Amino acid sequence: SATLTMGSNSNAALLAGAGAIGGAAAMWLAVRLNSRGRFTHLPLTGTPMFNSSSLLDRGAGKIRIRRSFCDTPDGQMLFRSAGDPSAPTMVLLHMNPRSSDEWTELMPLFAQDYFVLAPDLMGFGESDKPQRLLYVTDYAQHIVALLDELKIEKAVILGNHTGAFVTSEIAAAYPTRVTKVILANVAYFGEMVPTNRLFFRAP
């Protein structure tokens, strides 16, 4: 069974200095420090996540980010990929209404240890616009469809903000497909008010 770790002191120290050293680099360090846990909540609030510049550059600038599409029940979904496909897989899920573009500075860093996938959730970025209202359960199915198409059995999944809810749904509905869950910038992490349940639960 998965273990739950809620923001350790090491995370707090790293993330408190994120504005000075670059939020993307801080998240990268936090992920590396939490490599032994399976479920981690990173309390990122108001930090500039994507400004790592040259910090922790161990040759990451040489790693190429590719763009591809995969089919889902609701249309084609764009995904970015980087790293060695034979390495363990990490999936990065963006917040809404952004796209996988928010991960482009982190991907080369993670790709030194993982095969990294960052999709545009359906209706965002360059993915198709769905013809129906989608719920978090649908977004989770799309990510599993991506893993199926690439013949990937399990992955580390890191979700930012609304992407964290999709990450949690994948872990709950498809536990055998997940090796680690990392939640960042989680909104409504406690008890949700009734109006939010309309979005997070299928009818």
pLDDT digits (tens, 9 = 90+) for 160-191: 999 999 999 999 999 999 999 999 988 765 55
Rounded CA gap, 8 and 26, in Å? 14
Give the whole-number percent of the chain exceeding pLDDT 90: 56
Q: What is the mean pLDDT of residues 109-135?
A: 95
198 dihedral zone (left: phi>0; alpha: psi -120 to 50; beta): alpha
Query: 55 falls in which pLDDT band (50, 70, 90)?
Result: very low
pTM: 0.69
Query: 20 falls in which pLDDT band (50, 70, 90)?
Result: very low
Contact 120, 126 (CB under 8 A): yes
CB atoms within 10 A of CB 25: 23
Where is pLDDT greater, at 124 or 16? Answer: 124
Which tokens belong to 146?
């991506």
Rounded CA gap, 161 and 28, in Å? 16
What per-residue confidence (pLDDT) applies to 77? 97
Q: What is the mean pLDDT of residues 65-94?
A: 95
